[in-house]
Structure 1
Amino acid sequence: MIKTKAAVLHQSGGHARPYTTSKPLHIEEVTLDKPGKEEVLVQIKAAGLCHSDLSVIDGNRPRPMPMVLGHEAAGIVVEVGEDVTTFKVGDHVIFAFLPSCGHCVYCASGRAALCDPGAKANNEGVLLRGERKIKNKDGETYYHHLGVSGFAEYAVASIYSLVKIDPSYPFEIAALFGCAVMTGVGAVVHTAAVKAGESVLVVGLGGVGLSAILGARAAGASQIIAADVSASKLAVAKDYGATSLIDSSEAGALDRLKQELTTGGVDKSVEFAGAMPALDFAFQATRKGGVTVTGALPHPDARLSLNPLLLVGQEKTLKGCYLGSCVPTIDIPNFLALYKSGRLPVDQLITHRLHLEDINEGFERLANGDAIRQVIIFDEK
């Protein structure tokens, strides 16, 4: 067993803003059980703050409580459990926020993002084998967040939640590939299948949306339109490679996109805002025969009003995207290679570097829209 500091959420929703005052995340000393069969102990070196974490804090994504949050992280393997042959002590790893069992019908057909055992484990707040490894000083067992619980100095994880990487990559960069980059770039190149020369609309310009812009640029999109309701985020998108900017809340914004910026709409659109007006805008902005992809996670009660005649008469496609439709063991190394070649400059995403003790301040900043990707850097030991 090992003791470690961790950021624990005891209640999902009901926290007053600002979070710097209400402090929904408590920094506690917890104990981790030793890694079991097909599990390893990882020393966390960097972990990113994501809207998916924020949605658990504010209650939009209910999870079992208490829970150690964090699902975008990278670190070093420091101990291996029974029957671990693919990892060894000293390996550098990135966490994928959905474990891929490798043998269910979805994994076997190359659709790891739909892994049945992985989804079940994530929903129940346990590791892939169904166990919980985190306890507080009184012996109470805490839940795992998406098989990662990366807001801690150490984490026990299933080997099916990990991807081994070359140790030359900085941890703060590597961590981003576990969620923001994998989801954003994957949505563009896999789910939307953007081809060279096509036009792309990206709606919602957080870390995932800006990753999608970088992905569209790497894929050879001829036109990349960035849409948001925030002027500051639109300004940032231009630096990432957006060729046109549009405030989707302005009157006439859709007409401007379809009549001035394009001829009838874009070939492909991807939406990451998590709001129904944003998804509607993305769908309406997609041309006849085009594809609209949503990779956001709105409140479970949210509903989209859609005229099916548009799907039929215009042969449009509306697709969901989870995990960037990626196979993490294949796509994370491939995306890292794009970063190394300079074609995926994701280091631009990092706007703030924090200590674990600053995490509530970080989430208040994220809730305000004042950050893109904030990364917790853990001290060397």
Structure 2
Amino acid sequence: METRGAIIREAPGKYEVVDLDVDDPREGEIQVKLVASGMCHSDDHLATGDMRPGIYPFAGGHEGAGIVTGASRNNKGIKEGDHVIFSFLPSCGHCRWCATGQQNLCDLGAGLMTGARWDDPTSFRLKMAESGQPVGQMLGISTFCETTTVTVDSVVKVPKDVPLEALCLLGCSVGTGWGAAVNSGGVEPGHTTIVMGVGGVGINAVQGAAHAGASHIIAVDPVPFKRTKAQELGATDAVESMAEATELAKKFTNGQGADQTIVTVGVIQPDHAGEAMASIRKGGTVVITALGNMAETRLLPVSLADITLFQKRIQGSLFGESNANWDVLRQVELYRSGVLKLDELITRTYTLDEVAQGYQDMHDGKNIRGVIRFG
């Protein structure tokens, strides 16, 4: 069938909306009409060239929710009319990682940036409507399309009585930030936590630290609007620089430093890791969930003696170490109960044709999260 979607033709480049053909679902696949899609910084990394896909054109979007309009036979029993949230990391359910509760590291992730079906690198679900040229899917889903076809390994079925416009954020930013604090950072009651960068991911690290019982949550961002928002959603303090945050953390801990610093800046640089390491106590943890230029090979400005003698730890965090099939559903219930804030994260909604404006607003520091609302 025909659909419309936002694609990148080259990098650096900008998103443009074009007519596309989308395959009918094969066995193990479903077709979904999108209701809403979050505008994540990772999709902007495609436009800047920080992330390089296996093929151009490449259709963006990986944080979305919608209603199933077509379903073939599949092992999850998903059928037409079901409401689903996309998981940007698929889970097969039986590889070593899925079997040991690490679904975010599923072996299917090896094909994420090829744009093709996992089992056939020559098979593409999207094509240009006019020419038939293959179009890659961002992380196998491409939620910047009005309708998309995906494997059932990339979705989680959710209750129909919860608004999908809010739930779409559970597909990436909420799990990534919340999990960075709760799972990767190990925040405990009484801890002092620094969150470096309060965008769509960082604001949820703030929420996660608050839910885990941190006594002091220090949000760091140069944008006043974001600092204010962080305090509305759980931060006890909000400052402009890491130097201020480090000083505050030491003040709160008798000179020791933060228990964990979570790095959620928009584009990570090696110096960010150095600042984070300087801010934590002995035995503390730096959690890095931010992305930058994936070809970057510069060394981190970190003292190896600091790691050995003070037992400091740098912990990478992919999707906040979340298991989508469990964590998404429990976050739905946290939202229902009013504990997890989702509506408050959405600064502005856009139409699909306004996708380029949405990313300009992100760069201008106007949004915590922009969301594309489909008609």
- What TM-score results when the alignment is normalised by the length of structure 1? 0.92
- Distance in structure 2 (CA, Å) of the matches to 1:129 and 1:83: 16
2:166 — aligned with what?
173
2:271 — aligned with what?
277
- 5 Å-filtered alignment, 1:316-327, equals 316-327=312-323
Q: 1:260 aligns with which of 235, 251, 256?
A: 251
Alpha carbons 2:192, 2:252 under 8 Å: kept: no
Q: Which amino acid aligns with 1:132?
A: F
- Distance in structure 1 (CA, Å) of the matches to 2:89 and 2:322: 11
Number of equivalenced pairs: 366
Shift of 1:79: 0.6
Deviations 1:348-374 (A, max 9, x none): 110011100111111111122221101
- Distance in structure 1 (CA, Å) of the matches to 2:9 and 2:168: 25
- Residue 288 of structure 1 aligns to a residue in which SS? strand
Alpha carbons 2:156, 2:328 under 8 Å: kept: yes
- Residue 112 of structure 2 aligns to a residue in which SS? helix
2:184 — aligned with what?
191
- Residue 370 of structure 1 aligns to a residue in which SS? coil
- 5 Å-filtered alignment, 1:16-165, equals 24-63=14-53, 64-116=55-107, 118-130=108-120, 131-136=123-128, 137-165=130-158
Alpha carbons 2:273, 2:302 under 8 Å: kept: no
1:313 — aligned with what?
309
Shift of 1:284: 1.4
- Distance in structure 1 (CA, Å) of the matches to 2:192 and 2:225: 23
- The reply to whether residue 332 of structure 1 matches residue 328 of structure 2 is yes
1:290 — aligned with what?
284
Deviations 1:127-182 (A, max 9, x none): 33333110112111100101110011101011000000011111111100000101
Q: Which shifted more, 121-130 or 350-359?
A: 121-130
- Residue 52 of structure 1 aligns to a residue in which SS? helix
1:6 — aligned with what?
5
Deviations 1:282-340 (A, max 9, x none): 22111111111110111121532211111111111110000110110000001111111
Q: Which runs of 5+ in 2 are unaligned?
A: none
- Distance in structure 2 (CA, Å) of the matches to 1:66 and 1:160: 24
1:357/1:255 CA distance change after superposition, 3 Å: closer
- Distance in structure 2 (CA, Å) of the matches to 1:302 and 1:206: 25
- Distance in structure 1 (CA, Å) of the matches to 2:240 and 2:297: 22
- Residue 177 of structure 1 aligns to a residue in which SS? helix
Identity %: 34
Alpha carbons 1:211, 1:346 under 8 Å: kept: no
Q: Which amino acid aligns with 2:281?
A: R
2:369 — aligned with what?
373
- Distance in structure 1 (CA, Å) of the matches to 2:282 and 2:111: 39
Q: Which shifted more, 229-238 or 303-312?
A: 229-238
Q: Which amino acid aligns with 2:72?
A: G
- Distance in structure 2 (CA, Å) of the matches to 1:333 and 1:38: 22
Shift of 1:46: 0.3
Q: Which runs of 5+ in 1 are unaligned?
A: 16-23
Deviations 1:200-253 (A, max 9, x none): 11111101000111111111111111112323322221111111122226xx53
- Distance in structure 2 (CA, Å) of the matches to 1:83 and 1:50: 29
Q: Which shifted more, 200-209 or 298-307?
A: 298-307
- Residue 8 of structure 1 aligns to a residue in which SS? strand
Alpha carbons 1:254, 1:281 under 8 Å: kept: no
Give the alignment's Cα RMSD to 1 decimal: 1.5
- Distance in structure 1 (CA, Å) of the matches to 2:174 and 2:302: 29
1:356 — aligned with what?
352
- Distance in structure 2 (CA, Å) of the matches to 1:85 and 1:290: 40
Q: Which shifted more, 261-270 or 106-115?
A: 261-270
Q: Which shifted more, 54-63 or 122-131?
A: 122-131
Alpha carbons 2:67, 2:81 under 8 Å: kept: yes
Q: Which shifted more, 316-325 or 57-66?
A: 57-66
- Distance in structure 2 (CA, Å) of the matches to 1:83 and 1:96: 17
Q: Which shifted more, 63-72 or 228-237?
A: 228-237
Q: Which shifted more, 97-106 or 259-268?
A: 259-268
Shift of 1:258: 4.3
- Distance in structure 1 (CA, Å) of the matches to 2:71 and 2:146: 17
